[in-house]
Structure 1
Amino acid sequence: MPRIFVATEAIADGTLTRRDLTRSYAKIHRNVYARAGTQLSALDRAYAAWLWSGRRGTLVGHSAAALLGCKYIPADLPAELAHSRRGAPKGITIRSIRIRDDELRTVNEIQCTTAARTAYDIGRSVRGDLAVIRIDQLLNATRYPVADVTSIAMRYPGARGIRRLRAALDLADGGAESPQETRLRLLLVRSGFPRPVTQIPVRDQWGDVKRRIDLGWPDKMVGVEYDGEQHFKNPDDYAKDIMRLEFLANRGWTIVRVSSRQLRYERSAIVRRIARARGE
Structure 2
Amino acid sequence: MVRQLDILAAAARRQAGLVSRRQLLAYGITKRQIETRTRRGEWHRVTTGVYDLRAGSESVDRFDHARLRSAWTGLLATDPHGIAAGACALALLGAWGLPTSLRPEVCLPGAMHTPGAAGVTVRRFSKPLELVELHGRRLASPVTALIQAVPEWPRDVVVAVLDSALNRGLIAAVDLERIRTGVRGRRGAAQLHPWWPLVDGRAGSPVETKARLQCLDAGLPPPRLQVPILDATGWPMAFADLGWLRTDGIWVVVEIDGRSIHTRPEALFRDRARQNAIAQAGGYLLLRFTAKDVRERRIANEVAHALRR
TM-score (norm 1): 0.80
| 2:46 corresponds to | 28
| 1:89 corresponds to | 117
Q: Identity over the aligned pairs, expressed in percent? A: 25
| 1:171 corresponds to | 198
| 1:247 corresponds to | 277
- In the alignment, structure 1 residue 53 sits paired with structure 2 residue 81: no
| 1:19 corresponds to | 33
Write the deviation string for residues 124-163 of structure 1: whole angstroms up to 9, x where unpaired: 1112323223333433333534541222322553333222
Flag the 1:165–1:118 CA change in 2: closer, same or farther, 3 A: farther
List aligned pairs for 1:1-280, cutoff 5 A: 1=8, 2-3=11-12, 4-14=18-28, 18-19=32-33, 21-22=37-38, 23=40, 24-36=42-54, 41-74=66-99, 76-83=101-108, 84-85=110-111, 86-98=114-126, 101=129, 103-155=130-182, 157-202=184-229, 210-217=237-244, 221-230=251-260, 233=263, 237-251=267-281, 252-263=283-294, 264=296, 266-267=298-299, 269-276=301-308
| Paired positions, count | 276
Q: CA deviation at 1:226?
A: 1.4
Flag the 1:34–1:208 CA change in 2: closer, same or farther, 3 A: farther
TM-score (norm 2): 0.73
Write the deviation string for residues 2-39 of structure 1: whole angstroms up to 9, x where unpaired: 21222243234336774364342112232221214868
Which one-letter code corresponds to 2:286 in the other structure? I
SS of the residue 2:254 aligns to: strand
Flag the 1:75–1:222 CA change in 2: closer, same or farther, 3 A: closer
Flag the 1:207–1:136 CA change in 2: closer, same or farther, 3 A: same
SS of the residue 1:150 aligns to: helix
Flag the 1:123–1:6 CA change in 2: closer, same or farther, 3 A: closer
Unaligned runs of 5+ in 1: none
Between 1:204-213 and 1:257-266, the stretch displaced more is: 204-213
Which one-letter code corresponds to 1:227 in the other structure? D
Matches of 2:127 and 2:192 in 1, distance apart?
A: 17
